[in-house]
Amino acid sequence: MIFCYPPIPGPIKSQKQPVRFPSQAVHHNHLRCAGAYTTFGNMHRNKTRFFLAFVIHALFWLGMYYALKALTVSSFKMVINNNGSFSRQMSMNMLFPWSKVVLGFLMVLFYSNIFWLFRRAIRYKNKFLSTVIISGWGLLLFAINFLVVRRLIGSPGINHPGTHAAPPGPPGGSISADDWLQMQLTIALVFLSVLVIAVAYFFIKEWIRNDLVRNQAEAHQLSTEIRFLRSQVNPHFLFNTLNNLFSMAQKKGNDELADGISKLSGMMRYMIYESNTDRVPLQKEIEYLEDCMALNKLRYADSEVAVNFHHPAPAAVAGVQVAPMLFIPFLENAFKHGVSIARHSRIDMAISLNQKKLIFTCENTDHSTVKKLEEEKSGIGLENVKRRLELVYPGRHKLWNSPADGKYQVTLQIDLA
């Protein structure tokens, strides 16, 4: 198999604009059209999904309303006796006039659980405590619903005959407090049914969302591995070459060069062989960052950049696992955007552990002539880091970045629990 590589261009200063062939222009136009079509398609799918969800919810609550009215109908019989000569029986049904009030509390129970309470309750490791919180909230809404309707039953103009606001009903008034009390078993079963439906709805939706995120993470991991495999050029040959260069540097007495080659060899070995897992020891990441710092400092004089890295001792991070290659983009951006030749620069980086939370900070000098981190398009920008954090630590990380007082600060907090 023959590999053909294009020639490496020399420093031609007169060429100000890169040469673009017609086929490249057509290709870029196709890419722009495809991107616009994809964006439009996503917007259309989101609107359709929202509309379908709205229709399903509206039909569900409409059915719940009529089911509630059917379950709260009061039936009774009246016997009319006319001096013993004849009698007549009448069967009557009396509708419950406050079904909308009960439906409102059912809606509060449903949506407060799926959008707020369930998300908080599942974070507790104690499942019994989560069940108590959810049950307590349901009982609280049930009790408030009982008291509100009971107050409406006792309000003037509702259960007093002779008023215009009184709904039609049997002689003596409409629904009484005793009737409402007898309905509580039915209302409790309705509340319990809505709570069970809310639990099923929430966890099915979470299962679908987690499955989608897992598939995206697997696709991202596969894509990363493919790009990584393509970037490998016979790693055994590279390691053998580095070992030969290391031996030659030692024989020449150039200890600084030998140390740099040794660090580069260790970094490549870590990237190729040791970081192809979901989690790696935190100490390995710390050692990789230290080697990366040492190699980057070789490009500058000691007066041009000062680098400080504070981290826990190896014994303090024993057993702590993190996603591999997670912090290196911040360090690379700090050197690329925060260090300028012939100007003094400073990079301060730290890793700390606090109650199952890992806190990473990186602060570098912010030169006015340097592009901001958000504008980076080279592949190690902040957007790529954010995307990976969303896939690896969904809902378990916080990232802050901002320029302040001539410096650029990045703070990353990860929940390792």
pLDDT, one tens digit per residue, over 215-235 is 888 887 777 766 665 555 556
Lowest mean pLDDT segment, chosen from 10-24, 121-135, 194-208, 223-237: 10-24
105-158 tens-digit pLDDT: 999 999 999 998 988 887 777 888 888 888 999 999 999 999 999 998 876 444
Q: Tell me what pLDDT residue 332 has.
A: 86
Percentage with pLDDT > 90 across the chain: 26
Q: Which residue in 332, 329, 339 sits closest to 369, CA to CA?
A: 339
Q: How many CA atoms lie within 13 A of 213 on its CB side?
A: 15
Range 55-64 average pLDDT: 92
Say if residues 109 and 97 touch (Cβ distance below 8 Å): no
Q: Which residue in 339, 365, 70, 357 sits closest to 190, CA to CA?
A: 70
Say if residues 321 and 281 touch (Cβ distance below 8 Å): yes
**Cα distance between residue 4 and residue 339, in whole Å:** 36
Q: Tell me what pLDDT residue 190 has.
A: 93
pLDDT at 398 exceeding the cut of 90: yes
Confidence of residue 283 (pLDDT cuts 50, 70, 90): very high
pLDDT at 262 exceeding the cut of 50: yes
305-360 tens-digit pLDDT: 889 999 999 999 998 999 888 898 898 888 888 787 777 888 999 999 988 899 99
Say if residues 325 and 382 touch (Cβ distance below 8 Å): no
The more confidently predicted of residues 50 and 379 is 50
Q: What one-letter code names the amino acid at 25?
A: A
Range 367-372 average pLDDT: 51
Q: Which residue in 62, 93, 95 sits closest to 78, CA to CA?
A: 93
Total-model pTM: 0.47
Strand partners, 402: 409
Percentage with pLDDT > 70 across the chain: 73
Range 288-294 average pLDDT: 89
Range 277-291 average pLDDT: 90
| Structural domains of the chain, with CATH | 45-79+89-215 (no CATH), 293-415 (3.30.565.10)
pLDDT at 257 exceeding the cut of 50: yes
Q: Tell me what pLDDT residue 232 has.
A: 53
Range 156-161 average pLDDT: 42
Q: What one-letter code names the amino acid at 70?
A: A
Q: Tell me what pLDDT residue 42 has.
A: 58
Q: Tell me what pLDDT residue 130 has.
A: 85
Q: Tell me what pLDDT residue 276 has.
A: 75
Confidence of residue 21 (pLDDT cuts 50, 70, 90): very low
b/e sequence 37-73, b meaning 16+ C-beta within 10 Å:
eeeeeeeeeeeeeeeeeeeeeeeeeeebeeebbeebe
Confidence of residue 77 (pLDDT cuts 50, 70, 90): low
In the DSSP assignment, the letter for residue 197 is H
pLDDT averaged over every residue in the chain = 76
Q: Tell me what pLDDT residue 160 has.
A: 40
pLDDT at 172 exceeding the cut of 80: no
Tokens of 195: 């709570």
Q: Tell me what pLDDT residue 321 has.
A: 93
Lowest mean pLDDT segment, chosen from 20-24, 90-94, 171-175, 239-243: 20-24
Confidence of residue 46 (pLDDT cuts 50, 70, 90): confident
Confidence of residue 23 (pLDDT cuts 50, 70, 90): very low
Q: Tell me what pLDDT residue 154 has.
A: 77
Say if residues 95 and 82 touch (Cβ distance below 8 Å): no
| Most confident among 81-85, 222-226, 386-390 (mean pLDDT) | 386-390
Lowest mean pLDDT segment, chosen from 52-56, 101-105, 239-243, 384-388: 239-243
